[in-house]
Structures are given as structure tokens and as C-alpha cells.
Amino acid sequence: GESVGLHLPTLSVQEGDNSIINCAYSNSASDYFIWYKQESGKGPQFIIDIRSNMDKRQGQRVTVLLNKTVKHLSLQIAATQPGDSAVYFCAERGEDSSYKLIFGSGTRLLVRP
């Protein structure tokens, strides 16, 4: 079946360091992946996305890497700031045409001052 999971439930980093959040997915037919940030008591906030025909995509301070060979997705945050503290979810679009998203279990990022 389809599933998306994360390797680390909690990640603690020093302010200013780079953060790497990982995600594994099982559906090799998925063609679209998204990273979301969720702060406590709020809805998910879009960070960055990537299509399956790409290996890497960069945004402002964030980079998403996609390794289709091992079905692995990662989010890199450069110069992590206290405002980056949140739970991060990866999501993949299912193989049907409904645009449904399948969410991973989430990683909590804690930024130490």
C-alpha cells in the first residue's frame, strides 16, 4: 500500500546550523512531493515542492532533494532560526488523479538558541 514515513520524530539543532529532515515513501508511482511546516495550533504551511522529474529544488533557505532510487525525500534548512521550530511533514500525491495527499508522520524541529 501507499505510505510515507519519517526517520526521526524529533530533531534538535543549534541556531545557525543547517537542518536536514528526512522522509521515506513507498509508492514509486508518486509524482509530486511537498514539504509542510506546522506550528502549534495552526494549519500546515507550504514550504516547497518537487516533481518526480527533478532531483533537487531550492527555495529561500530551503532545499528539497528527491532520490527516486531509494524513495527518499529530504528537506534542508540553511542557517536554522528559532522561527523554524515547528513540526515538518512530507506529503506525496497518490497515484490516482484525485490530488489526494498522503502525509508522513512528521518531525519536530527544535532550534536551540
Partner 1 sequence: GAVVSQHPSRVICKSGTSVKIECRSLDFQATTMFWYRQFPKKSLMLMATSNEGSKATYEQGVEKDKFLINHASLTLSTLTVTSAHPEDSSFYICSASLGVEQFFGPGTRLTVL
Residues 69-104: b if buried by 16+ CB within 10 A, e if exposed: eebebbbbbeebeeebbbbbbbbbbbeeeeeebbeb
CB of 93 within 8 A of CB of 30? Answer: yes
User: Would you count residue 104 as binding partner 1 (CB under 8 A)?
Assistant: yes
Which of 1, 53, 99, 113 forms a contact with partner 1 (CB under 8 A)? Answer: 99
Nearer to partner 1 (CB atom), residue 83 or residue 113: 83
Q: At closest approach, how far in Å is the CB of 34 from partner 1?
A: 8
Q: Which residues bind partner 1 (CB under 8 A)?
A: 32, 34, 36, 41-46, 49, 89, 93, 98-106
